[in-house]
Structure 1
Amino acid sequence: MDDLVRAAMAKWPQVPDCRGWLALDARGDWYMRDEACQRAGAFPNPKGSRVVHDKLLAFIARNYEVDSQGRWFFQNGPQRVYVVLESAPWVLRVQPDGTVRTHTGRAVQVLSAWLDEYGWLYLGTDAGLGLVHSQDMVQAVDRVESGGWCPESVTRAELPARFGFVLEP
């Protein structure tokens, strides 16, 4: 977490939490969901406005964390902005050298692999559960076929309880 964010939290400790305004989709993209978007329906339909500003994306990435109840959030200065998750807290990118990084750029170690009823591949990592990005399935299949990852079956509905995260805080 940024030092500037920690300082803001200390200066203004009573800022209320924000819910429903920030979402993470299954491709690792962040979406701002204004009031009109929220009234129109639950994430991901409609998604909202995709965040594309490089510095804002970097700021969110540096300040993306989880609380003790498994609710993922972005600490925006003194305000905690809880994140609505489409699938998992992380979207994972399989690198050409076989290493794995989160959508925020963090290197992770793979501990387990899971395949849901829709064919989506999830990896249990030292940072928590992540969905393998759809564009990286060729590299992921190579890892599975070589025996590096041995996916177990899981239903999508049981993922939050099994891995301790909340889809919509």
Structure 2
Amino acid sequence: MDESVLHAMQRWPDVPAVYGYIGVNRRGEFLLKGHVVSHVRTREFINRNYTLDEQGRAYFQNGPQRAYADLEVTPWVYRLMDDGSLRTHTEALVAELREAWLAPDGDVVLVTELGPGLLHAQDLDALPGYLRAEDGVSLDDALTVLLQGDNAEVTLSLVCGHARLRLLDTDNISARFGINTRPAPAAGENAAESEHRPAWEPAPVESS
């Protein structure tokens, strides 16, 4: 986190948290009331100060105030670089690939030292270049067997490590990986909660 943010947290340690004012969609975009945060410096500031707490809730530390994020799917969205490395949607370089999962709907979920995240949809076409089937079996045949729910040896090999690609037995990614997609204040917590949630959806247009 930024030194200025750490200093503000120490100076004002009891600022109430806010919930639902910021969101992260499946493309790794930050949104406020459904509008993508496009200002470069604002986005860079959020990138540097976005992380997960001990309960797995994603948040942006805005100075002394913690803003918990609504998630469309996962707290991270991973980008596959041309050199086979992985970066998060916040531009953080991944050090360790731990798990790789193929969802029934075609989504790919990767688990790294940072936590679970979708592989960005734009990177799915490049993924087969980093997949290897067992000797004597074509990749297409191995993926077909895997999607049918049978045992198949398919390995994802990236700069940050290797992981066997496994089939998720559910479309409910948040439940499978313990992701809290809509954090809420605890009973009695002094916090503010947005009336418009989830934050990654467009805010309703008020009628005149």
SS at match of 2:124: helix
Percent same amino acid at aligned positions?
41
What residue is the counterpart of 1:12 in the other structure?
Answer: 12
Distance 1:112 1:26 in 2: 19
* Mapping 1:1-169, distance limit 5 Å: 1-33=1-33, 48-108=34-94, 109-145=96-132, 147-149=154-156, 150-154=164-168, 155-157=170-172, 159-169=173-183
TM-score by length of 1: 0.85
What residue is the counterpart of 1:36 in the other structure?
Answer: none
SS at match of 1:74: strand
Distance 2:10 2:29 in 1: 30
TM-score by length of 2: 0.70
Larger Rg computed on CA atoms: 2
Distance 2:155 2:80 in 1: 13
Structure 1 unmatched runs, 5+: 34-47
SS at match of 2:131: helix
Query: Considering only aligned residues, what root-mean-square deviation do their CA atoms show, in Å?
Result: 1.5
What displacement does 1:6 show?
A: 1.1
Cα pair 1:69 1:165 within 8 Å, conserved: no
Distance 1:100 1:148 in 2: 16
What displacement does 1:93 show?
A: 0.6
Structure 2 unmatched runs, 5+: 134-153, 157-163, 184-208
Query: Which structure shows the bigger proportion of residues in helix conformation?
Result: 1
Per-residue CA distance 1:43-89 (angstroms, 9 max, x = gap): xxxxx111001111111111111111111100000110001111111
